[in-house]
Structure 1
């Protein structure tokens, strides 16, 4: 299973909840800061407006319901199979400390830092990330 950003965290949650269905997990710039960001913005669910603009996407109030009471790192790192995390050290949306913390919780993880890469990979960073993903898939089969 492969996911990027918020999709990376959703993939990690799915793998943690359904490990028997997952042979390997690859996370590209995973948004393990998502609960921290939500909790910084709103101290309680009562403060959350009916809709909210989240990086250009409109999300409803229920988006925050679980995030405000969750430790995403704990909930999404229970998967015990092979995990690849690729993250840029210049990511200004998800600071590298969050996926690093998550990496410590996985049983079998390969953590790769792309120097000077931001959130979302483009150009040479995308090529490097895809190479790392190809190697991960080949080594796990």
Structure 2
């Protein structure tokens, strides 16, 4: 996805992603760092690996039915069992992230009941040029207009300042 977007844009792109998408985007940015201008991760869900590998569940839902039907209903998205198999085979969601050395920001809500704050902090610790912001009382879905405004304002400021550097 990053490669196609960078080709269409004819240069590095600004990557912004939330939750499991943030995990995937961080991995991709580490694989093709020259194609990423900035990386913004909102509530990166690195916890999904621990949930699957240690508890055989996602967000408290057991995965046995998913294996039987071939997919898991992940908030309205059908998550195939290939992903579950990759995780149980030892996927390390932090392994290549540090190869992206450009500007990065991680924003995580302190009231996130799905992904504990420490997972967002870990991404900020692993990324060489990252900042971390904990937003008081924000939940995983950033479920209020003020919280979403905060995300967008931080994004605009971040991308704008990265373009000046």
Q: Distance in 2 between matches of 1:41 and 1:4?
A: 23
Larger Rg: 2
Residue 75 of structure 2 corresponds to residue 55 of structure 1: yes
Q: Distance in 1 between matches of 2:153 and 2:32?
A: 27
**Equivalent runs, 1:76-95 vs 2, <5 Å:** 76-95=97-116
Q: How many corresponding residue pairs?
A: 138
Q: Distance in 2 between matches of 1:134 and 1:12?
A: 19
Residue 156 of structure 2 corresponds to residue 134 of structure 1: yes
Q: Distance in 2 between matches of 1:4 and 1:65?
A: 22
| Corresponding residue number in structure 1 for 2:96 | 75
Bigger RCO (CA 8 Å, 6+ sep): 1
Unaligned runs of 5+ in 2: 1-14, 58-63
Unaligned runs of 5+ in 1: none
Residue 60 of structure 2 corresponds to residue 38 of structure 1: no
Q: 4+ runs of 1 displaced by more than 6 Å? A: none
**Equivalent runs, 1:16-31 vs 2, <5 Å:** 16-31=30-45
TM-score by length of 2: 0.76
CA contact 1:34–1:72 (8 Å) conserved in 2 = no
Superposition deviation, residue 57 in structure 1: 3.3
Superposition deviation, residue 66 in structure 1: 1.4
